[in-house]
Amino acid sequence: MHNVTGGAAIFIFTDLRHGKGPWPCTNAPPRQESRHYLRNALERPAQAGSGRGNLAMSYQTSPMTPEEVLEKYRIERAKRLRPEGTAQYTELTDDYAEFDRDPFVEPGFTRDPVVEETDVVIIGAGIGGLTTAVRLVKKGVTDIRILDRAGDFGGTWYWNRYPGCMCDVEGYVYIPMLEETGFMPSEKYAKAPEIFRQCQLLGEKFDLYSKALFQTETHEARWDEGAKRWIITTDRGDVLKARFIVVAGGILHKAKLPRIPGIETFKGAKFHAARWNYAATGGGPTEVPTKLGDKTVAIVGTGATAVQVLPTIAPVTKQVYVVQRTPSAVGVRNQAPTDPDWFFNQKPGWQEERMWNFTAVTSGLPLDVDMVGDAWTEVYRGDMAFGGPDKTKMANEDRLKVDIEIMNRWRKRIEETVKDKETAETLKPWYDLWCKRPCYHDEYLEAFNRPNIKLLDTDGQGVEAITPTGIVIQGKDYPVDIIVFATGFETGTMYKSRMHFEMYGKGGKSLSEDWDEGRNAHTLLGLLSRGFPNAFLYCART
> pLDDT tens digits, residue range 417-455?
999 999 999 999 999 988 888 999 999 999 999 999 999
* Residue 516 neighbours by CB under 8 Å, 6+ apart: none
Q: HEC profile for 103-137?
A: CCCCCCCCCCCCEEEEEEEEECCCHHHHHHHHHHH
Q: How far apart are CA 52 and CA 354, in angstroms?
A: 10
Given a cut of 90, whether residue 522 has pLDDT beyond it is no
Task: Evaluate whether 245 touches 230 at the Cβ level (below 8 Å).
Answer: yes
Q: Give the closest residue to 499 by CA, choosing from 538, 530, 528, 529.
A: 538
pLDDT at 500 over 60: yes
Provide the pLDDT for residue 63.
Answer: 76
Query: C-alpha 305: how far from its chain's center?
Result: 10
Q: 336 pLDDT exceeds 90?
A: yes
Identify the pLDDT of residue 393: 54
Give mean pLDDT, residues 107-114.
95
pLDDT over 90, % of the chain: 65
The pLDDT tens digits of the residues spanning 299-317 come to 999 999 999 999 999 999 9
Maximum separation of any 2 CA atoms in the chain, in Å: 70
Which residue stretches of 122-257 are H helix? 127-138, 156-159, 171-174, 178-181, 192-205
Query: pTM score, two decimals?
Result: 0.86
Helices 192-205, 127-138: crossing angle, 10 deg rounding: 30
- C-alpha 235/C-alpha 109 separation (Å) is 12
Structure confidence at residue 419 (pLDDT): 98
Phi, psi of 188 (to 5 degrees): -60, -45
Q: What is the pLDDT of residue 177?
A: 98
The yes-or-no verdict on residue 15 having pLDDT over 50 is no
Separation between Cα atoms, residue 462 and residue 159, nearest integer Å: 25
Instruction: Give the integer Cα–Cα distance in Å for 130 and 542.
Output: 19
Judge whether residue 380 has pLDDT over 90. Answer: no
Q: Does the structure show a pLDDT above 90 at 469?
A: yes
Mean pLDDT of the 62-71 span: 86
pLDDT over threshold 60, residue 390: no
Q: Which helix (H) or strand (E) holds 473?
A: strand 470-473
Rounded distance between C-alpha atoms, residue 150 and residue 135, angstroms: 22
d(CA 284, CA 118): 38
The amino acid present at 346, given as its one-letter code, is Q
Please tell me what DSSP assigns to residue 412: H
pLDDT per residue as tens digits for the range 502-519: 999 999 999 888 887 656
Is the pLDDT at 1 greater than 70, yes or no? no
Residue 237 to residues 152, 159, 230: CA-CA distances in angstroms? Answer: 20, 24, 16
All structural domains of the chain: 115-161+193-253+493-536 (3.50.50.60)
Write out pLDDT tens, residues 150-208: 999 999 999 999 999 999 999 999 999 999 999 999 999 999 999 999 999 999 999 99
Work out the pLDDT band at 413, boundaries 50, 70, 90: very high
Contact 444, 330 (CB under 8 A): yes
Residue 279's contacts (CB-CB under 8 Å, 6 or more residues apart) are: 103
Distance between CA atoms of residues 480 and 317, nearest Å: 12
Strands 470-473 and 465-466 come out as antiparallel
Q: Are 29 and 360 in contact (CB under 8 A)?
A: yes
Give me the count of residues in the chain: 542
Q: What is the mean pLDDT of residues 360-366?
A: 84
Q: Is 298 helix (H, G, I), strand (E, B) or coil?
A: strand
Q: Are 209 and 39 within 8 A, CB to CB?
A: no
